Chain A
Amino acid sequence: MTVPLGAFIAVSAVLFFLGAGGVLVRRNAVVILMCVELMLNASNLALVAFSRRAGQLGAGNPLDQRGSVFVVFVLVIAAAEVAVGLAIILAAYRNRPTVNVDELHEMKG
């Protein structure tokens, strides 16, 4: 008895929409960054799950690691994104000591 693919995809989808909801609802910049990380992680789970299933079904080389390779690149992008994102939050914080994104409205038309 193994866990069906759909269960993994369901967890991934739930986590992705949790993250998306958090990005849209929360006003704290650091929390928004956390929610973006949750979304990236959810996409990683979907990639790995589909990649495994493609290997099991014989729809290609069982040693095909395309999904895992994409996950490695997502990890790299996530690390770069957090580093630059936090640097931007800190730079903005130095100008105006708040992390509330509603109060950072200098560029509002």
Chain B
Amino acid sequence: MFDILEPLLFALFALGIIGAGVCVVVLRRITAQALLMALTFACMAGMFLLLGAETIALFQVLIYVGAITILILFGVMFTRQDDRGYGLFFQRQSPWAAALTLVIALPVAFLAFSFKDPSTPSPKGGDLTPLAGSLFTDYAFPFEIASVLLLAALVGAIVLVKRDEQ
């Protein structure tokens, strides 16, 4: 059963990535584009899981799906975009939303109710332990440089958007 699961999941994620990517490039509705970009990032997190990089998938969800999408949406909000239909973006597609939720909820419910507690927990720590070991020993100096870069970006972003009080 699990032999077919991996190619199936790969096909699903690849379809999500490329389909949503095409929509991001082609569509003209900026809010939909931003949300589809989030879908691309979420499918990419699934790809990382398939490749066995759990920690990277977690970072992907936290930073890309969470932070960067919200930043982009704020950018959309603060600037005037092309004229477009402002209709009820979320409320018009209730049937679609219900169908999509069902498609996601059914497998999750199946897994949740068929879950058996394994007697011995798996001792593997995933890829977090080797990643952290590598990051904080061999790459400790680039890591510090990256933190300085983030600080510079933080200060720079604040300075750029600060209004002069005069």
Footprint of B on A, CB under 8 Å? Answer: 1-3, 7-8, 11, 14-15, 18-19, 21-22, 25-26, 28, 30-31, 33-35, 37-38, 41, 44-45, 48-49, 51-52, 63-66, 68-69, 71-73, 75-84, 86-91, 93, 97-99
Using known A-B contacts A30-B79, A49-B51, A69-B135, determine if residue A90 contacts B161 with beta carbons closer than 8 Å: yes
Q: Are B71 and A83 in contact (CB under 8 A)?
A: yes
Q: List 19 A-B contacts (CB under 8 A).
A: A11-B17, A15-B18, A28-B30, A35-B25, A37-B41, A38-B21, A52-B53, A64-B130, A64-B134, A65-B127, A65-B131, A65-B133, A71-B56, A72-B131, A79-B63, A79-B67, A83-B154, A83-B156, A86-B75
Which B-chain residue is minimally distant from A23 (CB atoms)? B25
For residues 115 through 137 of chain B, which have their beta carbon under 8 Å from a beta carbon of chain A?
Answer: 127, 130-131, 133-135
Task: Tell me the interface secondary structure of chain A in the complex.
Answer: helix
Q: Are A86 and B30 in contact (CB under 8 A)?
A: no
Across-interface contacts of B34 in A (CB, < 8 A): 34
Cα separation A25 to B21 with both chains bound (whole Å): 14
By the criterion of a CB under 8 Å from any partner CB, how many residues of chain B are at the interface? Answer: 63
